[in-house]
Chains A and B, each alone.
Chain A
Amino acid sequence: MYDVVVIGGGPAGMAATIRAKELGLKVLLLDDNDYLGGILLQCIHPGFGIHYFKEELTGPEFAYRLMNKLDGVEVKTSARVLEIINYSDLEKFVVFTSPEGVQKVSTKTIIYTAGARERHAFEIGIVGDRVAGIYTAGEAQTLMDIYGIMPGKEIVIVGSGDVGLIMARRFSLEGAKVKAVIELMPYPGGLARNIMILKDFNIPLYLSHKVVEVRGRGRVEKIKVVKVDENLREISGTEFWIEADTLVISAGLIPNVKLLTEIGVVIDPSTGGPIVNDRLETSVPGIFVAGNALLINDLVDYVAEQGELAAEGAKEFIENGGIPSKRWIRLVKGENIRLLAPHYLSGERDVWIYARVARPMEDVVVEFVEIGKKIKLPVVKPAEMLRIKLRAKEISKAEDKITMKVVKHE
């Protein structure tokens, strides 16, 4: 029996595995790709590891550093988990398939780090012809940076989040013309440093616009764009067409939680990931979650940090035959908080709170109402995850809940 089976070999999974090994646990790491690293390997741009390794690395470099610490751990790639069986709080089975066939292993805990999937064209209501040249950003990135394929030469990108902007740069560097980045919201979705890319490469950004239709015969030929009002309703008469051969959809990520929901793990609709306590344990005892399967992160450093935390949770679980019961303090969403995790705090340890605001705001106070904690910030944006440490001392001041809100500084 394993102490921990880690499902997913991206940064969260590798960090969890390394930490679990350091804690003396018997670990098995599974990934369905032929290689470890998850999406890091397709992210050949820099910007990784500033917090975690105190150094700016590319995705593959970050992955490589983690891989080097996996010595002595049992790792299986090309191994797809088919099912998790939650036999009891103390014993679980993981069934996976690989070129060696279907295997079933038993384990005390599971750390689930299966990442996220991208929203696709149909999901965001694009109509028209179903032709070649429509890719999600991650798919385009995989084609270019893992398999060396150039998808097209005249590109329109949907979504000004980091992934969309980075792909705008990637396409430009390879000689393609990025004709527009189309953003539904009235503000850009990416980190400030990535928004600079648009200026660097002279790429027009259309805020408060959406792509509604694609036309072409075999391949994308033209893309219809329309302006939206404050309520995101289309303004008729503002439609225009952009000629392009490629449409890249970067319209957000959704945690991959299917295997978890099959065993009854409770999902938070606002994060799309499970509801967790401060050990990142889900509603099924002994199943922990980290990385983009928990909530969509913007920095890999946070993802790796969550992986380590989950490993520490697993250790505590194994030592105590379960996470000891306590009076959990709920962390609840207040004004201008769109999502947050973890959802339950023990007050026994310091905790990193991850949260996103619903809309951008300047000169604000982040307030944890019941414990009177306030943090001043010059600006908050939905694109930038808030990561705030609450001290055990502070948390234990609360009775049963702590409300997190973001309000204008008076």
Chain B
Amino acid sequence: MDKVKVAIIGAGITGASIARVLSKYENLEVHLIDKNPDVGWGVSKANTAIIHGGYDDDPDKYPMRAKLCIRGNRLWHQWVKELEIPHVWNGALIVALKDEDFKELEVLLERGIRNGVPEMRIVDKDELFKLEPGLTREALGALWVPIVGQIGPIPAVIAIVENAVANGVKTHLETEVRGIKVENGEVRGVETNNGFVEADIIINAAGLYADEIARMAGVDYFEIHPRKGEYWIFDEGIPGPKRVLFPTPTPISKGIVVTTEISGHLMIGPNAQDLPPEEKENTATTREGLEEVWKGAKKLWPQLPPRSKVIRTFAGLRPEPTGGDFIIKAEGEVWGFINVAGIRSPGLTSAPAIAYEVAEIIQRDLGIELVEKKKWNPYRREITHFFALSYEKVNELVKRNPAYGKIVCRCNKVSEGDILEAVERMKFIGVKTPSIDSVKFRTKATTGTCQGSFCRPRIIQILAREYGVSPWEVTLKGKGSEIGIGDVKVLVRGE
């Protein structure tokens, strides 16, 4: 039996999840394509990392979002365990600061009930402060959504891709799709900077660029525009909330969240600023945006630390589609072309559900019967983290490889062994250009109090050695971000 060739464009949380689900089938040959040097570096890189509760999306206006968010939430409970993805199920509070806010909370509760969200209820002041003692005293009550959680978004993409590759998916990184070949109304494959990839089915999961990819296939009924959100992350040891705290939402956004992210750092953000469609790479932070976030967060969490305790600020871009709902469908006029576009928030939450939806579309709308593999492996083991090990366990590992006893990143206690494992796994999924960010997302090195000023030079040495390149050719985040211009005498020699 000839295999059906599937090309998934985009190795974000959506594309990765689709690749994992499709890797279950015997009769599919799955290719996962991304222009970046590593997976998860698009929209999936910078977001609030929340596994939402599914009460937020109006099923009349946004049926896809409403349906897939709650389903995604339920699936994540299983996926985080199978794939050993860092996570916490801590619940969320949508806080009312004014009497009018309760009306909105009632609306959310109603909607949640319609969407099938379990366990929600409105709590009064007394219960609220028991759930979250540090909350502003001005809070009047809240909607309590215990099923909300948080995950590491890039660690999740990495875990999913590792599992997909272990199950036979082929990755093509640093491979930019530049055209789609359609013949007689059927897709034939994708043209890339690395040559042609044949495909019977093309799945467009290109995040911010999904409109451009769709246009390459002649589909042009929607546009994606970026909506920027900015964040602050604070040093460890600063007390943050136990739950995810939301203000009562507005029509354009869920509002500025105050949360303790999974590594234990207080994080605030995002705001929402619409950018013109051509600014899809504009992830620069701005003074105005960050100030807005600060003010917004302070309303819920008055005890913000001094500005000197910030360890990082960053911004992400939500891919906002025409119409506002996820666009997930097989396009009638081009057989084999499936759009998975406009995957804005809650896309991270919905991703596993989106993946099953796509598998269904392939069977239902393209009429391809999917045959399950007998030996599909649902499991993936998390990388070793020195900081999570007992001392006995470290000593066991050291016997095998002394590098596990040697700390490279002081702030987060990342060992050289952790980093060597990260490199091994980068190579396993096809990362060709060594970058500090690839190591960072796998190990947490460089994300602590000093932001890498001690460990970056050491990581550069390890990457140069393991990839067989000169140290200055090691990049921060792919080609064009090399950490140096040559050896220290390069300018003096006048080259």
Contact = CB atoms under 8 A, between A and B. Distances in A.
Q: Do A and B bind each other?
A: yes
Interface of A: 32, 78, 80, 82, 95, 97-102, 117-118, 120-123, 125, 127-132, 135-136, 138-139, 142-153, 174-176, 212-213, 215, 217-219, 245, 258
Contacts of B284: 127-129, 213, 215
A149 B490 CA distance: 9
A152 B486 CA distance: 8
B488 A144 contact: yes
B398 interface: yes
B486 A150 contact: yes
Given A143-B460, A143-B483, A148-B487, 5 more contacts: A80-B413, A102-B398, A118-B450, A151-B483, A174-B491
Contacts of A149: 460, 471-472, 483-484, 487-488
Interface string B273-289: 00000000101111100
A142 B452 CA distance: 13
B377 interface: no
A131 B476 contact: yes
Contact of B407 (A80, A121, A217): A80
Interface in B304-327: 307-308, 310-314
B194 interface: no
B406 A174 contact: no
Interface in B450-487: 450-454, 456-457, 460-461, 471-472, 475-487
B428 interface: no
Nearest to B389: A102
Contacts, number: 148
A343 B436 CA distance: 42
B405 interface: yes
Ranked nearest first, the 4 interchain pairs of A and B with the lowest CB-CB distance are A218-B480, A175-B491, A99-B402, A218-B481
User: By CB atoms of chain B within 10 A, which of A78, A142, A147 has the most?
Assistant: A147
A130 B394 CA distance: 34
22 contacts: A97-B386, A98-B406, A99-B405, A101-B395, A102-B391, A120-B450, A122-B451, A123-B310, A127-B287, A132-B481, A132-B482, A136-B453, A139-B453, A139-B454, A143-B460, A149-B460, A150-B488, A150-B489, A174-B489, A174-B492, A213-B287, A218-B477
B483 A150 contact: no
B453 A147 contact: no
B453 A125 contact: no
Contacts of A80: 406-407, 410, 413
Given A80-B410, A117-B454, A175-B491, A122 B476 contact: no
B410 A32 contact: yes
Contacts of B486: 150
Given A98-B405, A122-B451, A146 B457 contact: yes
A325 to B, nearest CB: 32
B405 A97 contact: yes
A138 B286 CA distance: 27
Nearest to A118: B453
B192 interface: no
Contacts of B398: 99-102
**Listed residue (A121, A136, A148, A149) with the most chain B CB atoms within 10 angstroms of its CB:** A149
Contacts of A129: 283-284
A102 B487 contact: no
B449 interface: yes
A219 B476 CA distance: 9
Given A122-B311, A127-B284, A150 B491 contact: yes
Contact of B471 (A82, A102, A139, A147): A147
Contact of B307 (A125, A139, A144, A218): A125
A245 B391 CA distance: 43
A248 to B, nearest CB: 11
Contacts of A150: 472, 484-491
B461 A117 contact: no
Contacts of B471: 147-149
A246 to B, nearest CB: 9
B70 interface: no
A391 to B, nearest CB: 38
